């Protein structure tokens, strides 16, 4: 019997479960070990914040999906991988033995560079615990406790969240007294959307101005206090709530288990999605560095790796030659705006229209429905 064990219910593992649901493998037993029972789809997060989608939408039920795939579902956190004994230790559970192991763990937050962040702000990543964080934030907005909001991080996630918050705050925020609107500031330490072409950044800046979101560029958040974010030049940005989307670190499980990691602690994998020093260990998504094909941490890569990972686990179980994954260099980025439009960026071209928000909605709903319907 070949014991295939998946740790983490990330985007890539959804495809592995789907593949085994559609085509079971004789002689193999599949197990999913997941800390969270639901996997939030990242593309829909800003829409859940803005109110475009119900707050609980886009959460894929992992236990149900595992059942459809004929997999055992172990609800718990994997705390160590013992490669000598080929065994996973899982918090509050019995050890799980494996023949082939696959990791799709995402990232963990690292806000150690921002003093006070751990106690005074909402750390957006990882997204797996997003729902409970969002519930608290929305309750504070509705009660009028939040008059000033700050989003720290000028990447796509921070940009979209600032827009989503503008939409939600205008609809539901309650300003005591004068009835004005909640003030929102986006703090983009490394500059706004650094990877985008010039026109994309211009569109993004205009969209922020139109949505009445103040932009602070080139200054980093040094400290977060109860009512303010303190910048590294000493300036204060008033903030009754701060959301931090920056600084993702590698899951500690990788280093702790003595796996082949890069300087930042991410697992180094070959194009077959196997660890560089272990043919029985596969991995995908944000927790890996693909040797020679380094890319930003984004769900689109986990999604593209998913089918290759599924196929290679099957082939490895059958002792067949493996497929090679080639990371795409161009991909469509769709950034939702408070105005009901989206900015689309691909191959250095950037455009803005309502059509792109409809396209994003169609892509995102289709993704979630694919696993919900299985």
Ligand X SMILES: Cc1cc2nc3c(=O)[nH]c(=O)nc-3n(C[C@H](O)[C@H](O)[C@H](O)COP(=O)(O)OP(=O)(O)OC[C@H]3O[C@@H](n4cnc5c(N)ncnc54)[C@H](O)[C@@H]3O)c2cc1C
Select 67 or 75, whichever has its Cβ closest to ligand X. 75
Select 98 or 230, whichever has its Cβ closest to ligand X. 98
Select 239 or 253, whichever has its Cβ closest to ligand X. 253
Select 155 or 173, whichever has its Cβ closest to ligand X. 155
Residue 115 φ then ψ, to 5°: -60, 135
Q: What is the DSSP letter of 261?
A: B
- Looking at the DSSP bridge assignments, the partners of residue 275 are 269, 278
- Looking at the DSSP bridge assignments, the partners of residue 72 are 31
Q: Please report where in the chains the tokens 């149900």 appear, as a residue.
A: 64
CB of 190 to ligand X, least distance (A): 16
Pair type for strands 38-40 and 221-224: unpaired
What token pair was written down for 155? Answer: 């990447």
Q: How far apart are CA 39 and CA 48, in angstroms?
A: 14
SS3 128: helix
CB of 215 to ligand X, least distance (A): 18
Residues in touch with ligand X (CB under 6 A)? 7-12, 33-36, 39, 42-43, 45-46, 77-78, 104-106, 124-128, 157, 160-161, 245, 251, 253, 285-287, 297-300, 302
Select 75 or 223, whichever has its Cβ closest to ligand X. 75
Report the candidate in 126, 91, 65 with the shortest Cα–Cα distance to residue 285.
126
CB of 256 to ligand X, least distance (A): 10
CB of 330 to ligand X, least distance (A): 14
Select 133 or 174, whichever has its Cβ closest to ligand X. 133
CB of 164 to ligand X, least distance (A): 8
Q: How far apart are CA 90 and CA 80, in angstroms?
A: 7
CB of 240 to ligand X, least distance (A): 20
Report the candidate in 125, 42, 46 with the shortest Cα–Cα distance to residue 337.
46
């Amino acid at each position: 019997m070949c014991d295939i064990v998946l740790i983490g219910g990330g985007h890539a593992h959804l495809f592995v479960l789907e593949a085994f649901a559609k085509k079971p493998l004789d002689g193999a037993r599949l197990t999913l070990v997941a800390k969270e029972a639901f996997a939030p789809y990242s593309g829909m997060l800003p829409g859940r914040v803005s109110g475009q989608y119900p707050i609980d939408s886009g959460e894929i039920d992992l236990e149900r999906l595992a059942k459809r795939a004929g997999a055992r579902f172990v609800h718990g956190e994997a705390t160590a991988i013992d490669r000598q004994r080929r065994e996973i230790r899982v918090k509050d559970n019995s050890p799980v033995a494996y023949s082939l192991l696959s990791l799709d763990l995402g990232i963990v937050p690292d806000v150690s560079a921002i003093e006070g962040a751990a106690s005074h702000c909402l750390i957006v990543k990882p997204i797996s615990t997003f729902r409970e964080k969002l519930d608290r934030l929305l309750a504070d907005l509705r009660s009028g406790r939040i008059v000033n909001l700050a989003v720290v991080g000028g990447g796509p996630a921070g940009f979209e969240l600032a827009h989503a918050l503008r939409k939600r705050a205008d609809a539901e925020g309650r300003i005591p007294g004068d009835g004005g609107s909640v003030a929102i500031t986006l703090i983009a330490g490394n500059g706004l959307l650094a990877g985008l072409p010039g026109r994309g950044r211009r569109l993004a800046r205009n969209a922020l101005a139109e949505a009445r979101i103040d932009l602070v560029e080139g200054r980093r958040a040094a400290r977060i206090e109860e009512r303010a974010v303190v910048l590294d030049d000493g300036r204060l940005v008033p903030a009754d709530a701060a959301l931090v989307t920056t600084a993702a670190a590698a899951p500690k499980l990788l280093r702790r288990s003595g796996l082949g990691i890069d300087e930042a602690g991410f697992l180094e994998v070959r194009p077959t999605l196997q660890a560089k020093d272990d043919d029985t260990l596969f991995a995908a998504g944000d927790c890996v560095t693909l040797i020679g094909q380094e890319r930003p941490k984004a769900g689109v890569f986990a999604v593209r790796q998913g089918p290759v990972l599924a196929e290679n686990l099957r082939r490895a179980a059958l002792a067949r030659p493996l497929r090679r994954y080639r990371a795409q260099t161009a991909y469509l980025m769709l950034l939702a705006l408070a105005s009901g439009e989206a900015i689309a960026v691909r191959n250095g071209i950037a455009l803005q229209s309502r059509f792109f928000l409809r396209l994003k909605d169609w892509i995102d709903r289709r993704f979630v429905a694919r696993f919900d319907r299985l």
